[in-house]
A and B are shown apart, each in its own frame.
Chain A
């Protein structure tokens, strides 16, 4: 039987792993972009690229690569 200590108080319940430095930096930069540049996809791509925060392959973000990466990271 599963033992169940009381109380269950877990800060992180949606993660499957501790975010990598890359994921931390990308998330923090996204928050900055959303705050300063806007909420449209074009704003986001421009905002990330102008801050030199690139896609994992080192290339500048495109709408396509950003959608794919968010789908991977947000699943």
Chain B
């Protein structure tokens, strides 16, 4: 059974919120005609792509004896379990039980199949629990769908709880310290006052006294998928187009691991777009990577109980707000089972 409604609030808080969309892996991790095993929200899944590109996501568990379907055979439009040959269609229906044709498993939808979408080079899936199998309305991050904007995805896997990865994004002040020796975040004051500003889709956490100098604001957006938007100035060497933005999102893999998605984007067209992409591929991507590695090294070194016994100050309002929101949602998703 996957994503049970009987999961405790602690389990949900540790392994990822349900009844919403999450990014899973980059699209090109699953070639046409291929399968890939992935872990997400603490469960095992099988990504299955037909040769025409159509993608599906199944619980990685044969409904017969529980063997991983990911060890099975790709049959074009079905997967056959290696253990006893049970065939499962992309919507989770058992189409054939070769050992006992006509047995009552055939024709039944016995494997969880998650709704999937692909956007800006990533696979997104809706992780509903048993009481909420129908996908929540999804509004994709606008920088990823705006034709005037050019996004480039960077994906990485970190040994950190998903919440720490999100909290890091709701903590702009770390930019002036952790990333001080970087090509983009060297500037700006190292003291600041922040405020929270509500939006129709989440909230801004922003400096009251500085804009456009460093990592000065971040918006948490909850649009069926949780993502953050932020911008960071580029030095003049990056050419025309001004600051670059980041759409950040996270896949809760399990209680200790996270897949992080960072789309670097810029409002550029024509030769400016082409030139930025050329510089990005040749020189800038590596510099961005080094900045991201600073985050990974710091977050992976945080003790497991880092969010216990802290002494927070004004800069942590964005983090506190995020934790309350996620904690409350984990509790309500767990309490829903009791109701």
Contacts and interface: CB of A to CB of B under 8 A. Distances in A.
Q: Do A and B bind each other?
A: yes
Interface of A: 1-2, 4, 6-15, 19, 23-24, 27-28, 30-32, 34-35, 39-41, 44, 66-67, 70-71, 73-75
B237 interface: yes
Contacts of B29: 2, 4
B276 interface: yes
A2 B236 contact: no
Contact of B278 (A7, A8, A73): A73
Select the residue from A14, A15, A27 with max chain B CB neighbours within 10 A. A14
Interface stretch (B9-17, B213-221, B282-290, B310-318): B282-290
Given A27-B278, A74-B274, 7 more contacts: A4-B37, A7-B157, A8-B155, A30-B275, A35-B236, A67-B271, A73-B281
B154 interface: yes
A41 B240 CA distance: 9
A24 B235 CA distance: 19
A53 B31 CA distance: 40
Contacts of A28: 283
Contacts of A70: 271, 274-275, 278
Nearest to A73: B278
A55 B216 CA distance: 40
A14 B285 contact: yes
B278 A74 contact: yes
B35 A6 contact: no
A75 B36 contact: no
A1 B37 contact: yes
A14 B281 contact: yes
B67 interface: no
Given A1-B36, A2-B35, A31 B279 contact: yes
Contacts of A74: 273-278, 281
